[in-house]
Structure 1
Amino acid sequence: MFNLHYLADPKRIHENRESSRSYYLPYAPTDDDDISSRVLSLNGLWQFRYFSSHLAVEREHFFDETFWQNSNSISVPSNWQMEGYGIPHYTNIQYPFPINPPYTFSDIPVGVYRCEFLCQPQEMKQFIRFEGIDNCFALYLNGKYVGFSKGSRNPAEFDVTNYIKKGSNQLVVEVFQWSDSSYIEDQDMWWLSGIFRDVNLISRPQECIWDYQIQTSFDSNYENGYLTINFPELHGEELICDISLEKESLVFQKTVVINNGNRHFSFPVASPEKWTAETPELYRLTLSTAEEKIVQEIGFREVAVLDNQICINGKPILFKGINHHEFHETKGRALPKGFLEEEIQLIKQAHFNAIRAAHYPHCPEFYQLCDRYGLYVMDEADLECHGMGSTGNKNHLSSNQEWEQAYLDRMKQMVERDKNYTSIVIWSVGNESGNGSNHEMMIRWCRKKDPTRLIHHEGESRDCISEKDGRYFQDVQHADFNSRMYATLEELQDVVDNPKITKPYILCEYGHAMGNGPGSLKEYWEMFYKESQLQGGFLWEWKDQGIKAKREGHLTYLYGGDFGDSPNDYNFVLDGLITPDLQPSPSYFDIQRQQEPIDIDFSQFETGKIIFYNRNQFRNMLGVKCRFELKQDQEVVSEEIISVDLPHEKSIEVALPSSLLKEKKGNLLKVTLFDYQNEDSFKLPKIIASIPIEQAVFPEQVQDSFKFKLIQDDAKKLLLQNRKIYLTVDKSTGKWQLEDETHKPYLTSPKSIFWRPTTDNDFISAKMWREYGVDRMISNLMSCSISVNDSEKLQLTLNEQIGPAGKFWHINQTTKITFFKDGRVVYEIFGSPINHYPVTVPRIGLVWQLNKKFENTCWSGKGPLETYADTGNGSYGDVFSRMTDNLSFQYLYPQESGNHHQTKWVTFETVAQVAIKFQGADTFDFSVHPYSVEAIDSAQHIHELRQDDHYYLYIDYQQHGIGSRSCGPDVLDKYQLHLQNYHYQFEIRVKGAKSSES
């Protein structure tokens, strides 16, 4: 029977668990590679009972039918909270229990599982292998206790040969939600419990290979390779093993004898095709003994620090990395078949070449996909005790000898299971667990076990930073390279300039992608490309971890606190580039642009040339199709497609096609590269760039249809008509609107606005803005004067004082509105802040109410995605058309979205071809929403938003940048909207609908 005292004993890590081994599924000699007759999957429906306390579980009755009378069915794999038992609980740093290691709760929830299966042992040894159970579990088979294990994201394998019987067998697994190991599994994610990865019954011959270790290397010229295979553990005294290596054909086949004195074998391989993230060339290795075979995909790859740079196959690389959690919107950490491959394809399509298994070893399929698709992996031990920082000693556990073996077990489990995956180039000792003697022991063991890979420890790097001035005073001494989270650009420059720092430097986390953002990715990548010591980073993070649910009749996504879980860290779990259902956010396309393998340089454009640079370090890009489109606004006036070969790490000058140079028209050249990776099983994205050829001159071909006729012009009112559209002006207040033939509003008079729904990254700034009252500005009209300069126009001058109640500051704003009798309306706005005003504001602009009949939007500027001052580099200049309802991205936590920065003009049009066009004297920002600022700002979930019967149209002078301050640097100064004197101007034109009367 399992000893419950082990739940609070960090020295008791497992009992009767087999020694760790590399991951593989053995095959019978005659099996095809697709299906193994030696492996019986126990996945499926199991019987299940949930107990709120481990003290209420009658373990002695596990094999009595009375115990299971009130049981239900549950899917394995799954997390029981996602199946309706207990509640999901989200915390980032804080522990959900009182901090008193090794104790958690006096009542620990338990899930008891039962599975019945048939078995015909046939004199084979029988093993049950669990790939992942959260948090701690005890195993029983046919009425007998087998053993237990801790380590949620690590496998546990048990020899059940002496417990199993021929015919029907009963397997019982008792899973405990909490144990002492919860203290070192404090990752930023949902606390979810249960059997969440595969369960297999594995039949093995009495004599077999238990473990093997594959290593590859090259000669000094990286021309010829070596394949080394070690066999650290056998079942049996001696084995004859046939070793074969194949690609399209057989490379070699050797027969070796493995015994205690002969376990190390090395084979030369002439000119192997090398594995890199750009060229993921894999070979098929087969290890065959008399009664069993093992098949492994391997690649020839070498990682080392050479001349103070991390190199793959002798070349310095740049990590274009992403942090990845295992999560599914309805299944938690039990990932459905095919889901991971969808994710990996999306990751590759964004030009990522590296991935950090944050913050625990992932399921085996993950590494197989990274091998095949080509991603450099930082594999991370299932170790984090971030919450210990609140004790005042972040190293309380990491330097505690009582926890030494628990730490070491997590390193061993990861390295032993994953050591044969080619894609893994870095071992990480864990995340946010301080820096102590237990980490040093992990590193020493790892170096001895696997000297062929690098070791990462951000906690050690953090301890190399002076508390006095924030500068590094030395390199890391135990890890292989320096690492940092969320460094500012200034801090990165200090690293480059610091003579004490010579080891490579990466950002294991940067660019916090929470909600709208992150900003300034362009600046980070300019520095990464420029400074060789800075070898890239891993963006935080891949996917929002929102749980899909129905609330108030609407589908929505839930986060911390929504299940009554307390304490919680609210919506901090929604911080990814894509949504839980794999929809890319605008920031996905932002980072995609920064990481593109081909750079397009227009600096020689005036000489009729464009320069393409292939940033790839290993892969030539041959037969790249390059499409040139010369455009005059929405019209393509000339188009040419050529084919280009781009050698890796080379620049190629390409002459512009002569047909384009002969054209007299055209104000924009759009260059698109595509079809350069046809051989892949998925399509990489097009690369698009554009350059304005001259200052755009926008045609006024609809000018005739703008003509209005005067209906009324007296002391109170001006009324103009264009077919079925009316323009009315109240001369006493300056308010005006466009109306349809029934005098219902098309566009209402605007109000000044300085607030935006706060983004997650507004975090710090929003607090300051609210303290200054920017969210509650009141406009007082001080005067309204009328000027009639001639018979063709009327000018209103509005003088306003705009400021918050109870605060000693305001803005003096003068708005000049000129109404031309041909229907044009020209706005010119001057503003000047007075007294103790804030340094920055979220926006300066106007908000209008726009009739929902204007369902089509067309604009000239950056697009088609949302753009802000420091985001939107995934967009490009052109003329774009979209449905008005589709101009914004729906973030799971409602916030500012959908802005279109650097717009030249925008037109809104109805089906009946009524059109309203805004054109700026300079570029401006615009956005459209079916909700008010107040509604978005007060909503906490998307299901709480209810559309109004009109759109809210924002025409902004400017908006404040985005930044990544939710967990990183603030908006760069050049992208901040400083409150100072401002002046902007734009024109509105209206085109009425055609009718039979006109």
Structure 2
Amino acid sequence: MPKIKNSILFFLLSLLTNISQVNSQEVFISNTQNRTFTSLNGKWKYVMDPYETGQIGFMPLYKNIKQKDKTDRVEYSFDSAQTLWVPGGWNVQKPELLYYEGSIWYRKTFDKENIAKDKRYYIYLGAANYNSTITFNGEILGEHEGGFTPFCYEVTHLIKKRDNYLIVGVNNTRSKDQIPAKVTDWFNHGGITRDVKLLEVPTAFVSNYFLSLNKSTLNLKTKQIDGSLTLTGGTFSQKVKVIIPELKVNKEIIVDSTGTCNFTISVKNLDLWSPKTPKLYKVSIETETEKINDRIGFRTIDTKGKQILLNGNPVFLKGISLHDENPLRRDRANSIDDAKLVLGWAKQLGCNFIRLAHYPHQENIVRLADEMGIMLWEELPLYWGIEWDNPKVLLKAKKQYTELINRDYNRASSIIWSIANETTPTKARNEFLKAIAEHVKSLDNTRLLSAACKKDQAGDGNPENHYTVSDPIMKYLDIVSFNEYLGWYGGLPEECRKKTITSSANKPIIVSEFGGGALQGFYADKLTRWSEEYQENLYIENLAMFNKIDGLAGMTPWILVDFMSPLRQLPDIQDGWNRKGLISEKGVKKKAFYILQDYYKTK
């Protein structure tokens, strides 16, 4: 339960209510949009849990207790409760919930008339922020920590034809042992923020699969696709087919009783995925009882010296940073229309690359980037204030990265995993990030690894007006990245003319953040803070400075569009918005948008 998991409180509640947790293990099931499912999105009833105990009037909320007769004491009612839309953050749906941090319990009721004996049923949540307790028909299925990655629980043993009730408790209270930790510069949207589905799969089903181009065969006429898959529920060897009709592939694989297997496929005349030609192939995974369709692109991403190579050719990453919000409705993004809005703006800017900051974004945006030919940087919120010396936090980070990699491995657009942002080197931090780098590489060696590194400033062994990027974690990375806010958090934009930047590593460099705030529609001169002219001039001076960097391979300025942040409260300027966007929260482009657009036309 939110905020009471593994606690004495949970033990006491168990004694009071005579319950025990159902033995339902959390599982991962990929590509849920191309499986048989019933959407559970829509209006959900909710009850607030201000003391975060999981009960009201000493009655557990997940039991959905109702009054039996007029003598019966019941102190809550989902039936007569108000509603919240799912998916969606609760903060923007009710004025009284704007800055609410705590527990809310959601209930969704539904019927399932056609329950098949040869099928299994799973509850899938695309994301819920941050701690979640998932219950079904009065039984606790399990708990999930992490606000941005998907999870599933089986309900085959509990589902009924009528009057099913799914009750999910969600708690978004910030804590120092979480990822992210207590302080962030973005809005803490609480609640069930992505799709909820009832999945229907065979008794034995393919729960996950990975396909990627073997980079060692890139320059050969016959290329090799490396693959692996996991069969869940199989107790004996089974045949699985991988079919790619356009490439005349019909590969039969034997999966043994362990449920996992690795395989290779030889292909000719393979068209590679790239921003200019974002080729996707229809892929089918078939067993005797199911068929899963997907659209997958094949490409390689590598480095050579200070160059990034896409399919063996140098590429400059013309990027922008992005938060996972739809600013027009002030909520966490959760739909294909939300993805189309922001990716459309990025395309207008001239981008071939987007940094999805600072946490996993919705799956729709990654799949749409595949189609539109936009490369992506993905990351976890290993950010300010992480408890680097806490082994439990390291385990949480590994689990969340596993969930993200499982979800997006087959997306050609995703080319970089980033393991940290704006973190100060210490022994504990360096060891933590080394462990994360090793973990990520053990799961996926088809992508590049980066992080927003720290810089040595003038006076740290550097001459005046020069600094070097020499973070200890650089040795574990493929790409060196750093954030630089000269002209905004220090000095004026013209000081960029004096500065030089180098790296101590012979690796490609990405400027992962730069920029400054501007209130759209506020016009003045280039020395007036918050004016569009100040931001415009800042971009002119910063771009000229970065252009002189040896090994510059890309950039992701901060940020595409203004985003919500409780840290930003300056009246009549910020009003709860970080104003560093090139586009306002109303969708209006600022002057600096066109400076960056013109710069990218030269790249």
- Give the TM-score normalised by structure 2: 0.81
Q: Displacement of 1:472 after TM fit?
A: 3.9
CA contact (8 A) 2:517 2:581 kept: yes
Aligned to 1:114: 107
In percent, how many aligned pairs have the same letter? 22
User: What are the superposed Cα offsets for residues 147-174 of structure 1, whole Å, 9 maximum, x if unpaired?
Assistant: 1111001112111122222332011111
**1:597-746 → structure 2 map (5 Å cutoff):** 599=602
Give SS of 2:501's match.
Answer: helix
AA partner of residue 505 (structure 1):
I
Residue 438 (structure 1) aligned to one of 410, 432, 436: 432
Q: Displacement of 1:576 after TM fit?
A: 0.8
**Residues 344 and 3 (structure 1), Cα distance of their counterparts in 2 relative to 1, 3 Å cut:** closer
**Residues 22 and 5 (structure 1), Cα distance of their counterparts in 2 relative to 1, 3 Å cut:** closer
**Is 2:552 the counterpart of 1:544?**
no
Aligned to 1:494: 501
**Is 2:27 the counterpart of 1:19?**
yes
AA partner of residue 214 (structure 1):
L
Q: Displacement of 1:545 after TM fit?
A: 2.1
AA partner of residue 367 (structure 1):
V
CA contact (8 A) 1:464 1:474 kept: no
Q: In 1, Cα distance between the equivalents of 2:469 and 2:344? A: 38
User: What are the superposed Cα offsets for residues 701-757 of structure 1, whole Å, 9 maximum, x if unpaired?
Assistant: xxxxxxxxxxxxxxxxxxxxxxxxxxxxxxxxxxxxxxxxxxxxxxxxxxxxxxxxx
User: What are the superposed Cα offsets for residues 904-956 of structure 1, whole Å, 9 maximum, x if unpaired?
Assistant: xxxxxxxxxxxxxxxxxxxxxxxxxxxxxxxxxxxxxxxxxxxxxxxxxxxxx
Question: Once superposed, which parts of structure 1, at least 4 consecutive aligned residues long, lie more than 4 Å away?
Answer: 5-9, 14-17, 461-466, 487-492, 522-532, 558-563, 569-572
Aligned to 1:354: 353
Residue 85 (structure 2) aligned to one of 75, 80, 91: 75
Aligned to 1:370: 369
**Greater C-alpha Rg:** 1
**Residues 220 and 405 (structure 1), Cα distance of their counterparts in 2 relative to 1, 3 Å cut:** closer
Aligned to 1:199: 196
Aligned to 2:19: none
Give SS of 1:594's match.
Answer: helix
Instruction: Name which of structure 1's ranges 129-138 and 399-408 shifts more when overlaid on structure 2.
Output: 399-408
Residue 511 (structure 1) aligned to one of 503, 508, 515: 515
Q: In 1, Cα distance between the equivalents of 2:260 and 2:5? A: 43
Q: How many positions carry a matched residue from both structures?
A: 538
Aligned to 2:244: 245
Aligned to 2:406: 416
Give SS of 1:189's match.
Answer: coil
Aligned to 1:129: 124
Q: What residue ranges of structure 1 are gaps of 5+ in the alignment?
A: 28-37, 90-95, 97-107, 389-395, 548-557, 564-568, 600-614, 616-998
Q: Displacement of 1:121 after TM fit?
A: 2.6
Q: Displacement of 1:364 after TM fit?
A: 0.8
User: What are the superposed Cα offsets for residues 779-833 of structure 1, whole Å, 9 maximum, x if unpaired?
Assistant: xxxxxxxxxxxxxxxxxxxxxxxxxxxxxxxxxxxxxxxxxxxxxxxxxxxxxxx
Q: In 1, Cα distance between the equivalents of 2:292 and 2:247? A: 17
Q: In 2, Cα distance between the equivalents of 1:369 and 1:159? A: 29
User: What are the superposed Cα offsets for residues 265-314 of structure 1, whole Å, 9 maximum, x if unpaired?
Assistant: 11122131111122211111111111111122111210111233221111
Give SS of 1:81's match.
Answer: coil
Q: In 1, Cα distance between the equivalents of 2:83 and 2:485? A: 48
Residue 457 (structure 1) aligned to one of 451, 454, 479: 451
**Is 2:184 the counterpart of 1:184?**
no
Structure holding more helix per residue: 2
**Residues 506 and 183 (structure 1), Cα distance of their counterparts in 2 relative to 1, 3 Å cut:** closer
Residue 429 (structure 1) aligned to one of 401, 413, 419: 419
Aligned to 1:480: 478
**Is 2:265 the counterpart of 1:264?**
no
Q: Displacement of 1:562 after TM fit?
A: 9.2
Q: In 2, Cα distance between the equivalents of 1:510 and 1:335? A: 27
CA contact (8 A) 1:306 1:314 kept: no
Structure holding more strand per residue: 1
CA contact (8 A) 1:321 1:355 kept: yes
CA contact (8 A) 2:103 2:169 kept: yes
Q: Displacement of 1:415 after TM fit?
A: 1.3
Aligned to 1:345: 344
Q: In 2, Cα distance between the equivalents of 1:400 and 1:466? A: 33
Q: In 1, Cα distance between the equivalents of 2:193 and 2:548? A: 44
AA partner of residue 201 (structure 2):
R
Aligned to 2:489: none
**Residues 503 and 465 (structure 1), Cα distance of their counterparts in 2 relative to 1, 3 Å cut:** farther
Q: Displacement of 1:205 after TM fit?
A: 0.6
Give SS of 1:457's match.
Answer: strand
**Residues 418 and 474 (structure 1), Cα distance of their counterparts in 2 relative to 1, 3 Å cut:** closer
Q: Superposition RMSD on alpha carbons, in Å?
A: 3.2
Quick one: higher RCO (CA 8 Å, sep 6+), 1 or 2? 2
**Residues 541 and 232 (structure 1), Cα distance of their counterparts in 2 relative to 1, 3 Å cut:** same
Q: In 2, Cα distance between the equivalents of 1:474 and 1:56? A: 44
Aligned to 1:60: 60
- Give the TM-score normalised by structure 1: 0.50
Aligned to 1:283: 281
Q: Displacement of 1:438 after TM fit?
A: 2.1
Q: In 1, Cα distance between the equivalents of 2:508 and 2:484? A: 17
**Residues 207 and 466 (structure 1), Cα distance of their counterparts in 2 relative to 1, 3 Å cut:** farther
**1:384-403 → structure 2 map (5 Å cutoff):** 384=383, 386=384, 388=385, 397-403=387-393
CA contact (8 A) 2:44 2:86 kept: yes
Aligned to 2:397: 407
Q: In 2, Cα distance between the equivalents of 1:464 and 1:16? A: 52
AA partner of residue 341 (structure 1):
K
Aligned to 1:937: none
Give SS of 2:395's match.
Answer: helix
**1:766-781 → structure 2 map (5 Å cutoff):** none
**1:464-475 → structure 2 map (5 Å cutoff):** 467-469=460-462, 470-473=467-470
